[in-house]
A and B are shown apart, each in its own frame.
Chain A
Amino acid sequence: MSSRTIAGPAKGWEYVIGLEVHTELKTVTKLFCGCPNAFGEEPNTSICPVCLGLPGSLPVMNAQAVDFAIRVGLALNATIQRSQFHRKNYFYPDMPKDFQISQYDVPINAHGRLELPSGAVIGIERAHLEEDTGKLVHRGGHGRIESAEYSLIDYNRSGVPLLEIVSAPDIRDPDEAKEYVGELRSILVAVGASDGRMEEGSLRVDANVSVRPIGETTFRTRVEIKNLNSLRSLTRALEYEGRRQVQLYEDGETMLQQTRFWDEARSVTGALRIKEEANDYRYFPEPDLPPVAPDPSLIEERRSQLPELLSARRAQLYALVPDLRSDLRETVIADACWPYLRAALDAGITPSRAVARCANELTALLAEIDALSPERFVEILGLEDQGTLGASQAKILLREANDDAKPIGDLVVKLGFTANDASAIQAMVAEVINSCPEEWARYRDGDEKVAGFLLGQVMRQHGRQISGADARNALVALREEAHSDES
């Protein structure tokens, strides 16, 4: 695997980054009640006594949410354990009960790891279940919380299941942070637990950042950064914050432990205006919910059903194409491409050819993939590997095979790519040289330079059917024949 290259925030300094990723789980209903878990509905239309926190209501755990948590835990190599829910107590209007049901010291998943494309391994401390809050809309003052006159609350999102995935502070630069989120997202989507859409809010990232001089092993004060709405915001915020912190240390100032938010418009992190009293959440075990003890047979079943992850694909490719460029590699291991590549590799297609055709021709067709199945893809590449088709013919045939569902053999004929045996090729070349007798005469007499002209003519007429190499071979063979005829 390629090695990890890190860029610090300033010379002699390194980042220490941990990420907290919250993902909404793709369940049909909310975590504790039967209200639909839907996006974009009219406000306050997916509500019931439970998710509104009405007096007398009680939570009941959604089995599917537990199932998804298990799948993610397996994909992250975490320990899946019997877990308990806790109440996190604080007052806020988007929280109907003024406590959040979450998991505290005994989460469902603990001690996992995530391998990045670069080969770096990031520790996953925990991945636990908790409920989402409602959404606030601020009115007056341009809709921003600081200047609002009042606020409105939509509880549709209240009670939606979240999985909170907390990494160890193992991430060492903003690009690596971006890689981490991308890789984590692909896992969440691969196991079916989440849509992973940052723009829609089904994937949310908060970062914990500190810096330290390279070589220092202790951790310095960390700052939490919120409001990172895209991967671009993530990297930019981390870069800004890293520089800000280094500057503070170099100026001899104290680093405040605080929460900051990323201001996209001004490209800075700013301190939150909300008073940050040290929150005493008064965690205690949720008395309304019994512990969740995942069934071992369910865990084993899900383990056997784990889809192949990107890291496994990278490993497979590394064995066959060790020098593959990482950007090409990431393209061809993507879900859309991979079935084709895997089928081609399994069928013994030359790996570099298989990768090239995937990365180039196939990728172009993916947006409108129709009749080109992995099997047909492999058949065409097989013909190219054998030499039956030339490269440009293969490329044309790939597109044709997508537009027209007829068997590959029929398409070869349709396109005029006859079975290229030597005599057919010679016939084609002979046809051309008969129409250029002067040039043929010069070539026959040893003028190599005119070969180019002749071949050009051949390719102009028959380039769709034969390869340049085949044409040259036929030309040479015809000259030899001519010579032997004379002698």
Chain B
Amino acid sequence: MTYRIDQADVAHIAHLARLRLSDDEIEAYQGSLSRILEVIAVMNAEDLSGYAPMDHPLETVNLLREDRVAPGLERASVLDTAPSAEDEYFRVPRILDAP
């Protein structure tokens, strides 16, 4: 079973990923992503029901840490190199569109 990916899909995914693509790019990515999906389709043809999904390569459980304070970062060391800062905060443009 092959999954087709069309240009509307590409545009939607790009938005989910916060990327803006030109029309040419959408077309180009549609081509290359479709090619890759063909390769991937190979595995969908197999009966894998006997194999549980491997979420972790390790068998570990419970790597927990003690509830104890550890040294952190000086505010200046991150604010001074931030793209934009004001007072003691990181600064970003408005969240919503202008009213």
Give A residues with C-beta under 8 Å from B. 27-29, 33-36, 42-49, 52, 60-66, 82, 84, 91, 93, 136-139, 141, 145-155, 273-274, 280, 282, 285, 287, 289-293, 295
Contact check: which of B67, B70, B89, B95 meets A148 at CB < 8 Å? B95
Q: Compute how far the CA of A9 lies from the CA of B7 in the bound complex, rounded to whole angstroms.
A: 48
* Total B residues in contact with A, Cβ cutoff 8 Å: 34
With A273-B96, A291-B62 already in contact, 17 other A-B pairs whose C-beta atoms are closer than 8 Å: A27-B67, A28-B67, A28-B69, A29-B69, A34-B69, A43-B89, A44-B79, A60-B64, A61-B63, A66-B64, A91-B18, A93-B95, A141-B99, A146-B99, A151-B94, A152-B86, A290-B60
**Chain A contact residues: helix, strand, loop or mixed:** loop
Residues in A with CB closer than 8 Å to B61 are: 82, 290-293
With a cutoff of 8 Å between Cβ atoms, the chain A residues found around residue B75 in the complex are 44-45, 47
Of all chain B residues, the one with the shortest Cβ separation from A273 is B96
Tell me the total A-B contact number using a CB cutoff of 8 A: 127
The reply to whether the CB of B91 lies closer than 8 angstroms to some CB of chain A is yes
B89 & A49 in contact (Cβ 8 Å cutoff): no
For A35, list chain B residues within 8 Å (CB): 69-70, 72
B contact residues around A292 at 8 Å (CB): 61-62, 64
A301 to chain B, nearest CB (A): 16
Query: Chain B residues near A29 (CB, 8 Å)?
Result: 67-70
CB atoms of B78 and A44 under 8 A apart: yes
Closest 5 CB pairs of A and B: A34-B70, A152-B89, A64-B67, A48-B72, A63-B64
Of A63, A137, A152, A280, which contacts B67 at CB under 8 A? A63
Task: Check B66 for interface membership: any CB of A closer than 8 A.
Answer: yes
Chain B residues 66-85 with CB under 8 Å of chain A are 66-73, 75, 78-79
Complex Cα spacing A179 to B57, Å: 46
A55–chain B nearest beta-carbon distance, Å: 12
> Do the beta carbons of B64 and A47 come within 8 Å of each other?
no
A-B contact pairs, 13 of them (CB 8 A): A44-B79, A47-B78, A48-B72, A62-B64, A63-B65, A63-B66, A82-B61, A93-B90, A148-B94, A151-B95, A153-B89, A285-B55, A290-B61
**Chain A nearest CB, measured from B53 CB (Å):** 9
Minimum Cβ distance to chain A for residue B34 (Å): 21
Select A62's contact among B67, B73, B86, beta carbons within 8 Å. Answer: B67
- Main SS of chain B's interface residues? loop
Say whether B58 faces chain A, with CB atoms less than 8 Å apart. Answer: yes
Q: Within 8 Å of chain A (Cβ to Cβ): is B50?
A: no
Whole-angstrom distance between the alpha carbons of A139 and B99 in the complex?
14
Question: Closest approach, in angstroms, between the C-beta of A259 and any C-beta of chain B?
Answer: 14
B94 contacts A149, CB within 8 Å? yes
CB distance from A281 to the nearest CB of B (A): 10
A52 and B78 contact, Cβ closer than 8 Å, known pairs A285-B55, A287-B56: yes
Contact of A49 with B92 in the complex, beta carbons under 8 Å = no
Residue of B nearest to A51 (CB): B72
Compute how far the CA of A45 lies from the CA of B69 in the bound complex, rounded to whole angstroms. Answer: 13
Check A151–B92 contact: CB distance below 8 A.
Answer: yes
Q: In the complex where A47-B72, A47-B78 touch, is A150 in contact with B92 (Cβ < 8 A)? A: yes
Q: Digit string of B38-66 for contact with A (CB within 8 Å is 1, else 0)?
A: 00000000000000000110101111111
